[in-house]
Amino acid sequence: MSDVFMIDFSANAPSPFAELLGRFVNPAAVINRYLFHPNPQGARLVSPQVTLIMHEDEPFEIDWRWPYELRPARHRVEAGQFHLLPAHTPMEVAWEGEQRAVIITFRPDFVDRIVHKQFKGDAPRLRPQAALSDALVQSLCTELCGKIRAKGQHLRACAEAIATLLVIHLLACFGAGGTVQPSSAGGLTRAQQRLSLDYIGTHGRQEFNVDELAAAASLSRRHFQRAFKQSFGETPCRYAHNTVMAAAVELVLGTRKSITEIALDLGFGNFGNFSTAFKRHTGMSPEAFRRRNG
């Protein structure tokens, strides 16, 4: 899967992977319904906007991999579940059979306004996530999809209001590197999950103290680390590191900043340390990664 396909779901450009079934264009977002063709061999896809994909058909399995992960993760996707794609973040995906889905791409200036107004310019960072479940997201996506081919002067204002609520909810609940999942046996409570994600969102670019975070969650270090992994599938340190690397990929591909500037922005002491960490997780230097995927 060496080729990278830029998939702009807000444009009318033809795609080798999907057929457009309907579209509603709004200043806030572009709402589409697509029929995806089988893609068992997989491809590397990247979108220039924050994109949400909600599945509508029978359950199926999808292989989903960040460029720097060694193996793809296989997810069983049910109707109503959705995937999140941050802007300029290439993903390797593969699936069997034809699949219908709602695709919502949020216009960058619209997202920027929400970040500035609702999050004081410092919104939680999204990372690619697959097969997510959230009743409010499903309901809002269904409402937006209902605007396709509908008529009425009120539709634009209605769609923009729904899209605003959806973006705020996505950033608040699925930002800072991950989503707050329902508490499971042996895992963190919802409050402890949110506290942990907020802490990692603040300290994830530096070495943080696991004992301090465990104490804030009113747990011993051992209990906290076990409960954190139960909830998020990774240790706190690995989760924080992956959050930093997700930010690194986004900055390398989505900005014109120099690699040195990015290294400093992410809290690395120097260019060499950043380049080594980046290459360890992507298999190539930041410069090569930008040339290949830019």
Burial class (CB in 10 A: 0-12, 13-18, 19+), 5: middle
Residues 157-184: what's their mean pLDDT?
77
Tally of domains within the chain? 3
For position 185, what pLDDT does the model report? 63
- Is 224 found in the same domain as 96? no
- pLDDT, tens digit (0-9, with 9 covering 90-100), for 197-249: 777 776 665 667 888 888 888 889 999 998 888 877 678 888 787 778 777 87
Q: Does residue 147 sit within a domain?
A: yes
The predicted structure's pLDDT at residue 1:
43
Question: For the ranges 75-89, 118-132, 173-187, 263-277, which has the lowest average pLDDT?
Answer: 173-187
Domain that holds residue 130: 4-174
First CA to last CA distance, the chain: 16
Residue 184 lies in a domain: no
Q: Using an 8 Å Cβ cutoff, are 175 and 168 in contact?
A: no
- The per-residue pLDDT for range 8-43, each reduced to its tens digit, is 787 766 677 888 999 999 889 999 999 999 988 887
Whether pLDDT at 87 is above 60: yes
Measuring CA to CA, which residue among 198, 139, 10 is closest to residue 87? 10
**Domain identity same for 80 and 137:** yes
DSSP string across 138-174 = HHHHHHHHTTTT---TTHHHHHHHHHHHHHHHHHHHH
List, for residues 41-76, the tens digit of each pLDDT value: 887 777 888 999 999 999 999 998 876 566 778 899
Residue 117's CATH number: 2.60.120.10
Q: Is the pLDDT of residue 90 over 80?
A: no
Q: What is the mean pLDDT of residues 90-102?
A: 89
198 shares its domain with 286: no
Shared-domain flag, residues 121 and 211: no
270 shares its domain with 243: yes
CA nearest to 159, candidates 17, 25, 1: 25
Closest CA to 175 of 254, 106, 86, 248: 86
Sign of CA dihedral 119, 121, 122, 126: positive
At residue 71, the pLDDT reads: 73
Number of helices and strands (H, E) in the chain? 10, 11
Q: Nearest 5°: CA angle at 250, between 56 and 76?
A: 25
Averaged over 139-145, what is the pLDDT?
Answer: 91
Q: Could you tell me if 120 and 250 lie in one domain?
A: no
What angle do the packed helices 271-282 and 286-293 form, to 10 degrees?
Answer: 50
Give the model's pLDDT for residue 256: 86
Weakest mean pLDDT among 104-108, 128-132, 192-196: 192-196
Q: Say if residue 60 is in the same domain as residue 104.
A: yes
Are 108 and 87 within 8 A, CB to CB? yes
